[in-house]
Amino acid sequence: MPNETLPLTGASWTFAADAAERARAVHWAYRIMLLREPESREAVDYLVRTASTARQLRDTLLGSAEMRASPGFPVVMSMSGDEPPQAVQTEVDPAQRRQLFARVQQVWHSLGEQQPHWSVVTADEFRPDRIGESLEHFYATGEGNIQTLLRMLRRNGVEPASLSSCLDFGCGVGRLTFALCKQFRQVVGVDVSASHLAVARSEAAKRGISNVDFRLLATVEAIDELPQVDLVYSIIVLQHNPPPVIRALFAGLLRRLSPGGVAVVQVPTYLPGGYSFEARSYLATPAGEMEMHALPQREAFALAREAGVNVLEVLEDMWTGYGAGSRSNTFVMQRPRESAR
């Protein structure tokens, strides 16, 4: 029906609970999306085990290098350029900033007490009642992120072996930290949640990891007490802070860079749904469990100028989970070796 519109209803397909049915779904997903059969029984079993919803199955295949390199891959630009301005307050007085930070700290400490792993990666298999069987898979997910980090550095002319120390900001329970410890001589894991850090320290001890120093960030200002490092890394962290806190933390992280040091930092820069932020009205409402906030892209560039660092790359990523009409960026910034601060 070339001249007709498909009568799509928007109804969702519920992923079958039966393993055999899910395996059939995986086979058909391969056929329809990758135009081939699965490469192995192990690949099918992995997707049956890890994709708990049809959307996860779809997104896993869409995110594969093979799919993304295919001719005709459905590329949707994050923004068209027609999006309206958003009123986002990024600077407040110190008292308001302390209030904003305290809210974040309280929320995340509570999450760390109740469901520390799920709050880092929000998949049902990492809920407290299932983490016993999925713990190794949870930490294995961090390995892929760090391999992406290494490729990102090399793409921008930075050899990872030349970097000795690393700061993992928003380290949580150590999902990325432990993978970083395999790549860098010394790693500093920093988080605002004491409960998450308690899990990270315990897990590091069990795994015999000794080249990590976990630190609690008790205040925004305390970021300037952290050591200077060769690499600052932070993904899916700053987005859970109000914009004035994002800006202050981002600025502080750039100040922690040694000459020649590199920062790889992710933050949403435009959110859908008429997003806006005003500190006074925000503080008058109850805190959300896991909020999503944005820092306008121009603010990130301003922070780079203020810190005297060079922007090497701005990568569009998908860390917020939002689609068209939003934007999340991973910034790669480097402090010149001759820089004097």
- Asked if residue 59 and residue 109 are part of one domain, the reply reads no
- Asked if residue 241 and residue 117 are part of one domain, the reply reads yes
Phi, psi of 169 (to 5 degrees): -90, 125
Structure-token pair, residue 32? 């329809």
**340: confidence class by pLDDT, cuts 50, 70, 90:** very low
Q: Of 29, 51, 68, which residue sits at a domain end? A: 68
- Asked if residue 52 and residue 183 are part of one domain, the reply reads no
Q: What is residue 181's three-state secondary structure? A: helix
Q: Which of these, 142, 326, 325, lies nearest to 235 by C-alpha position?
A: 142
- Number of domains present in the structure of the chain: 2
Residue partners of 46: CB distance under 8 A and separation at least 6: none
- Asked if residue 236 and residue 100 are part of one domain, the reply reads yes
The answer to the question of residue 73 being in a domain is no
What are 212-254's pLDDT values in tens digits? Answer: 999 999 999 999 999 999 999 999 999 999 999 999 999 999 9
Cβ neighbours, 10 Å, residue 161: 10
Q: What is residue 270's three-state secondary structure? A: strand
Q: Which residue has the tokens 């109850």?
A: 286
The answer to the question of residue 307 being in a domain is yes
- Asked if residue 202 and residue 56 are part of one domain, the reply reads no
* Nearest-angstrom CA–CA distance, 257 and 298: 21
Q: Which residue has the tokens 């820092």?
A: 295
- Asked if residue 322 and residue 281 are part of one domain, the reply reads yes
State the virtual CA torsion across 155, 159, 164, 167 in degrees, nearest 10: 0
270 in Cβ contact with 88 (< 8 Å): no
- Asked if residue 269 and residue 179 are part of one domain, the reply reads yes
**73: confidence class by pLDDT, cuts 50, 70, 90:** confident
- Asked if residue 133 and residue 43 are part of one domain, the reply reads no
Q: What is residue 326's three-state secondary structure? A: coil
The answer to the question of residue 10 being in a domain is no
* 8 CB burial (10 A radius; 0-12, 13-18, 19+): exposed
* Nearest-angstrom CA–CA distance, 214 and 190: 6
**12: confidence class by pLDDT, cuts 50, 70, 90:** confident
- Asked if residue 199 and residue 129 are part of one domain, the reply reads yes
DSSP codes, 136-154:
HHHHHHHHHHHHHHHHHHH
CATH number for 193:
3.40.50.150
176 in Cβ contact with 146 (< 8 Å): yes
pLDDT of 4 strictly over 70: no
- Asked if residue 182 and residue 58 are part of one domain, the reply reads no
Task: Quote the domain boundaries for residue 150.
Answer: 94-334
The answer to the question of residue 155 being in a domain is yes
The answer to the question of residue 276 being in a domain is yes
The answer to the question of residue 108 being in a domain is yes
Count H helices, E strands: the chain? Answer: 11, 7
295 in Cβ contact with 243 (< 8 Å): yes
The answer to the question of residue 339 being in a domain is no
**143: confidence class by pLDDT, cuts 50, 70, 90:** very high
* Nearest-angstrom CA–CA distance, 317 and 195: 29
Q: Of 68, 103, 127, which residue sits at a domain end? A: 68
One-letter amino acid at 159 equals E
Q: Look at residue 5 in the predicted model and tell me its pLDDT.
A: 60
* Nearest-angstrom CA–CA distance, 4 and 12: 22
- Asked if residue 176 and residue 313 are part of one domain, the reply reads yes
* Nearest-angstrom CA–CA distance, 304 and 311: 7
- Asked if residue 174 and residue 118 are part of one domain, the reply reads yes
The answer to the question of residue 74 being in a domain is no
**1: confidence class by pLDDT, cuts 50, 70, 90:** very low
